[in-house]
């Protein structure tokens, strides 16, 4: 049995993953929660339940700040990572003050600054060159 299979046999993992209906959500949470485990320097899902509430909330706060500032993730990405963590602890009956922690996510900001074309850009003619096709 592989290390990954052993991790997935823990009771905490089974409660966490089997409570999700959507296959896409399941896959997403499977990928994102282990990042938090590595951040906490833990290798077992059961070990993730051994933190006291104050320590856990401090780790979560630091992790959110890490995702925003060090990894430079967008608001939506940070929200996805936090959703996996919230679901894990909720399903394993751990109470966390999420209202306070969500303040660290900051406001919804766009990493890509998309904007519509200006009137001047629309008026400016563009010269297009057709692609060259080579016949063999």
Q: Tell me: the pLDDT tens digits for 23-37?
A: 999 999 999 999 999
Q: Are 74 and 110 in contact (CB under 8 A)?
A: yes
Q: Where are the domains of the chain?
A: 3-123
Which is more confidently placed, 136 or 54? 54
Phi-psi group of 41: left, alpha or beta (phi > 0 → left; psi -120 to 50 → alpha; rest → beta) = left
Whole-number pLDDT of residue 4: 54
Instruction: Grade residue 2 by pLDDT with cuts at 50, 70 and 90.
Output: very low
Q: Tell me: the pLDDT tens digits for 76-116?
A: 888 899 999 999 999 999 998 888 888 777 666 555 566 77
Give the pLDDT mean for 3-25.
80
Whole-number pLDDT of residue 109: 57
pTM score, two decimals?
Answer: 0.71
Which is more confidently placed, 59 or 124? 59
Which is more confidently placed, 117 or 83? 83
Supply the DSSP symbol for 40.
T
Lowest mean pLDDT among 26-35, 59-68, 112-121, 124-133: 124-133
Exposure letters 77-93 (e unless 16+ CB within 10 A, then b): ebebbbebbbbbbebbe
């Amino acid at each position: 049995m592989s290390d990954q299979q052993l991790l997935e046999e823990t009771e905490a993992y089974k409660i966490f993953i089997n409570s999700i209906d959507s296959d896409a959500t399941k896959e997403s949470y499977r990928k994102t929660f282990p990042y938090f485990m590595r951040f906490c320097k833990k290798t077992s899902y059961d070990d993730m339940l051994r933190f006291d509430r104050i320590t856990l909330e401090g780790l979560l706060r630091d992790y959110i700040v890490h995702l925003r500032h060090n990894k430079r993730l967008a608001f939506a990405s940070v929200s996805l990572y936090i959703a996996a963590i919230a679901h894990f602890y909720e399903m394993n009956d751990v109470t966390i003050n999420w209202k306070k922690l969500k303040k660290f996510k900051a406001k919804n900001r766009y990493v890509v600054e998309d904007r519509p074309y200006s009137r001047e850009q629309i008026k400016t003619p563009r010269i297009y060159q057709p692609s060259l096709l080579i016949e063999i």
